[in-house]
Structure 1
Amino acid sequence: MPSTSTIKVATLNLYNFVAPPNAFYEMENIYSRKQWQQKTQWLQRTLSEVDADIIGFQEVFSAIALEELVKSAGYPYFAINEPCVVESDYIHFQPSVAIASRFPMRLQSNPSFPSGHDYQFSRRPLHVSVSTSPLGELDCFVVHLKSQRPMLPEVSNSDDTLSKWLEEIEGSMQSTSLRQSEVLYLHQYIVKSKQLTQRPFVLMGDFNNNLTAPEFAPLRSTGRHRRPDSQETIAPYTFHDSWQLSLEQQCLAIDSNHTQPTEPITHFHGERGNRLDHILVSCEFCANHAYGLFNVVDYQLVDKHIVDPTYGIDDQGSDHALVCITIAERQQ
């Protein structure tokens, strides 16, 4: 078990992690034995390279295979949110999210929602409390929010281009609306959990959009509208971008005297890159915060497999970069 004064937390979308002869989404989507070997070997190498203490995963279909792999890599503690859906005994849908840890952890109840709201996540978040050293008890939330893919009808009566265009616009808006609702209820759940436990928290995963997107407004909020006096009360429950915090530690905080650093890219759609994968932390990890106890001292991006892949080694890995942060005790 780690005993140093720092810990590393990471997140990775595994991109259809399903062991053959099982399939993902369609009956023909089955890895060959060689492809599956390449995929698992890539993951083993990546875990060894990053050497994280806690890592969240998305797009997990074969949870047992993943658990066996991470345990062999030195992660004795493992949990998933819920099993994926299987049809015809081998076609897998609705992948799980998972977490592996070198520290003991306890699975918490799945997020509940405010009364009166009949609502379901597209993929239910995972909540565990981890007994770390030296940070003490830490709440970790792993998410895979709704993608930007349009929510189209399974059976369409439209044949012409104009009608399909209108369907796609409506479907895109529905996807954004669902992701917005997921963020709202997730934010409420995490804040109420912290209000009850007063534990620091880490929120990690594939958010499927940049943090500046309108649907993530709750995660950026620091006070009530036109009520600056509310900020002191709300401060312990605010969310903070680990990338920005790492810049501050490197004396590269964005201000009038500095050029804005280039935002990291964690996923490419064609030639267009975006930051979809995030690690947000509570105020306890902010160096200049009144409630700060720890510092985010490093932000690491493992992205060779998406920016400069090696054939036969990286091509079965993932279509997302791995994000890893290093957290250290604040020096007194």
Structure 2
Amino acid sequence: MKISIATFNAENLVTADKPIYEDSHPHYSQAQYRKKTDWIRNQLLRMNADIIGFQEIFEEQALRDCLTGTHMENWPLYVANPTGKNPVNAIVSRFPIVKTEVIEDLPFVFDFFDDKKMTEPFDSIPVNIPLKKFSRGVLKAEIKINENLLVLVVVLHLKSKRPLLPEGIDRDTATYPELAKGNVRSLIRRAIESCGVRQILSDEIDQDETKPIFILGDLNDNDTAVTNQAIIGEDPFHKLPREERVKRWQHVFQNCKDIQARKSIENFHYTYIHNGHYESLDNLFASNHFADLNARKIGRIIDVRLYNDHVIDDKTSMDKKPIYVTDHGQVVANIYVPEPNPPVPAMRGASL
């Protein structure tokens, strides 16, 4: 059977006449809200995915309005602690969602230290970086695909690249050194969050290595960035003993984009454009259960589809993005998993 898994950054999905963040004015008028829900609904119908992870959901009702009138209207839906003021993650599934969890707290205190050669004559004493929470809670959902297959889907939205600047300074007035520091502050937070996700994933694998895992969401970094590679994990060193390599491979994830790229003659994979740079910020990773070279794989990635025609390059285009259209492309991965074997009927009259 084929299952389709998707990620969708809905960009500020809130009902009409409601402000978001610290704003005092409504983000959408009634007319704008109708256009936004219509656009998202049509995009979801085009994608035709079985499991969709969402980012930037402010209210559950807004997401339900997007599903109204579609075959997804009565699917299981879970939204991660919406407040109406700040964005959270969500998931909708054609298959039963049997368990959910939202992780708000980072699973460790990150300690920074430098190479001793770079800190002499001072000691390289670790310094704790006081970050305690994820920017948006990590959403975990266990989904029952069939009688034989239970998967874990992890929906992420890591810290954006927007610079963290001192109060009273904004991006338009900041000097370039101030912007550089602000960008690095955001990178540090996003990097620590990615380490937190890696810890959560490794704990899950240690607890049950047989359970397949899909990671999806807006990671706010290119797929080859250090932050994303921290989540995916490195291939084990080829000179390790075979038993150790097999054990470590269980902790390595596959980037669905890479698998698609190996099958394609050309690669035009992007989900976001900023200042003329085409980036793949929205990603889908699959656990080693779906790796082609895994002799014990339980399925495979068929292909990856992008829905990015609405993403505008404002360096080359005179068009302006409508407020109701999202600024990210959507990604859909098609996965093949075998059908469960039907029970063998008992033979009448059989004797031992």
The interval holding the TM-score normalised by the smaller chain is 0.7 to 0.9
Specify which of 3, 6, 12 is matched with residue 10 of structure 1.
6
Q: Which runs of 5+ in 1 are unaligned?
A: 87-91, 253-258
Q: After TM superposition, give the deviation of residue 119 of structure 1 in Å.
A: 1.9
Q: Distance in 1 between matches of 2:270 and 2:14?
A: 25
Report the structure number with the largest CA radius of gyration: 2
Cα distance in 2 for partners of 1:46, 1:23 equals: 25
The correspondence for 1:222, drawn from 219, 225, 234, is 234
Once the two structures are TM-superposed, the CA of residue 227 in structure 1 deviates from its matched residue by 6.3
Q: Does 1:108 align with 2:100?
A: yes
Pair 1:235 & 2:249 matched? yes
CA contact (8 A) 2:221 2:227 kept: no
- Residues 232, 285 of structure 2: 8 Å contact kept: no
2:213 maps to: 201
Cα distance between partner residues in 1 of 2:28 and 2:148? 40
Structure 2 counterpart of 1:185, from 196, 211, 215: 196
Distance 1:224 1:325, change over 3 A: closer
Identity %: 26
Helix, strand or coil for the counterpart of 1:177?
helix
TM-score by length of 1: 0.83
Instruction: Tell me which amino acid in the other structure corresponds to 1:210.
Output: N
AA aligned to 1:207 is L
Q: For residue 16 of structure 2, give the secondary structure of its aligned residue in structure 1.
A: coil
Is 1:245 matched with 2:259? Answer: yes
Q: Which residue of 2 aligns with 1:96?
A: 88
TM superposition shift of 1:212: 1.2
TM-score norm. by structure 2 comes to 0.79
Q: Distance in 1 between matches of 2:333 and 2:17?
A: 35
Matched, 1:212 2:248: no
SS of equivalent residue, structure 1 residue 222: coil
**Unpaired stretches in structure 2, ≥5 consecutive residues:** 111-130, 342-352
Letter in 1 for 2:48: D
Larger deviation: 105-114 or 218-227? 218-227
Q: Does 1:52 align with 2:49?
A: yes
Q: What is the CA-CA distance between 1:313 and the residue it aligns to?
A: 10
> Is the contact made by 1:299 and 1:326 (CA closer than 8 Å) also made in structure 2?
yes
Following the alignment from structure 1 to structure 2, what is the Cα–Cα distance between the partners of residues 30 and 212? Answer: 34
How has the CA–CA distance of structure 1 residues 135 and 72 changed in structure 2, closer, same or farther, with 3 Å as cutoff?
Answer: farther
CA contact (8 A) 1:105 1:128 kept: yes
Q: Matched residues in 2 for 1:132 and 1:277: separation?
A: 24
- Equivalent in the alignment of 1:286: 291
Determine if contact 1:14/1:60 at 8 Å carries over to the other structure.
yes
Coordinate RMSD, CA, aligned: 2.9
Show the counterpart of 2:336: 328
Asked if structure 2 preserves the Cα contact closer than 8 Å seen for 1:245 and 1:286, the reply is: no
Counterpart amino acid of residue 15 in structure 2: A
Aligned length: 308
Write out per-residue CA displacement over residues 212-239 of structure 1, whole angstroms, 9 at most, x where no aligned residue: 1122332343356796334221111211
